[in-house]
Amino acid sequence: MLSRPDAAAPAKRRAPARVLPGFNITLGYTLMYLSLIVLIPLSALVFKTFTLTWDQFWTAVTGPRVMASYRLTFGASLIAALVNVVFGLLVAWVLVRYQFFGKKIVDALVDLPFALPTAVAGISLTALLAGNGWVGQYLEPLGVQLAFNPNGVVIALIFIGLPFVVRTVQPVLEDAEKELEEAATCLGASRWQTFSKVIFPSIAPALLTGFAMAFARGIGEYGSVIFIAGNMPMISEITPLIIIGKLEQYDYAGATAVATVMLLISFILLLIINGLQAWQRRHSGAPV
């Protein structure tokens, strides 16, 4: 008895239905959106800078006040990001590994710097840390000044950068396999060995990501800093304030020149951090 030919033939597999259109259309929309939001504004920034001669450009970006602002902006952002890496990891660890009364409230407070206007954050920190503030009035007689100097800049950047580290590390800790920690403990590993050999390699890429995001946010922060920094030239004047000052003086080319330098340095630093992340993933066995 012969069977029908179509019965023996294997059934054709249907192509999986795509929720979004094909690659060409989505890629086109992606490039168009990125061009409108990112590439065209940055290109205008660079083209405006090209209206300067090399000598004018060099004078604009290497003036004494500008160089002092570079040192403060990048130095304070680096210190704040490093502090947030340590304490952000601790906050994420407590939120993931422990249950306690008010945990949801603490978890919501982490996102407060995201929702709070930066100007409100700056005013609040100033009212708290100034010489007549709630905390500053007790510290100033001891010779500790946390407002209207570079210390205030670092504190403001720590405040606005903490959520980036916590929210980046928290999901990784939640997905971590506790069995590996238990196995390390059973094999006689100390707490430090368990952390350095088991936990840290798995969360290192997330920590680097949180560090990069906090650092980048700190470089461009303006609203929360200007109220607590004091804005003293050569001492507590950040680079975004230099750019605003040049714009107020109608020195548009000078402002774009300083902004271009900031953009270039930030881009190089982010490339380095992304390279470190890729290297860490390769050595930890995680997909790049």
How many other CB atoms are found less than 10 A from the CB of residue 277? 20
pTM of this structure: 0.82
Q: How many folded domains does the chain comprise? A: 2
pLDDT tier at 86 (50, 70, 90 boundaries)? very high
The Cα-based distances of 8 to 2, 5, 15, 49 in angstroms read 10, 6, 21, 71
- Does pLDDT of 68 surpass 90? yes
The 10s digit of each residue's pLDDT in 202-259 is 888 888 888 988 998 898 888 889 889 888 888 889 999 999 999 998 989 999 999 9
Tell me, yes or no, whether 45 and 160 share the same domain. Answer: no
DSSP count for the chain of H helices, then E strands: 16, 0
Distance CA 218, CA 221 (A): 5
Tell me, yes or no, whether 64 and 105 share the same domain. Answer: yes
Tell me, yes or no, whether 121 and 179 share the same domain. Answer: yes
- List the Cα angle 46/49/55 in 5-degree steps: 140
Tell me what pLDDT residue 15 has: 55
Tell me, yes or no, whether 31 and 138 share the same domain. Answer: no
Indicate whether 30 belongs to any domain.
yes
Tell me, yes or no, whether 139 and 272 share the same domain. Answer: yes
Tell me, yes or no, whether 90 and 220 share the same domain. Answer: yes
CATH code: domain of residue 107? 1.10.3720.10
Containing structural domain, residue 38 = 19-50
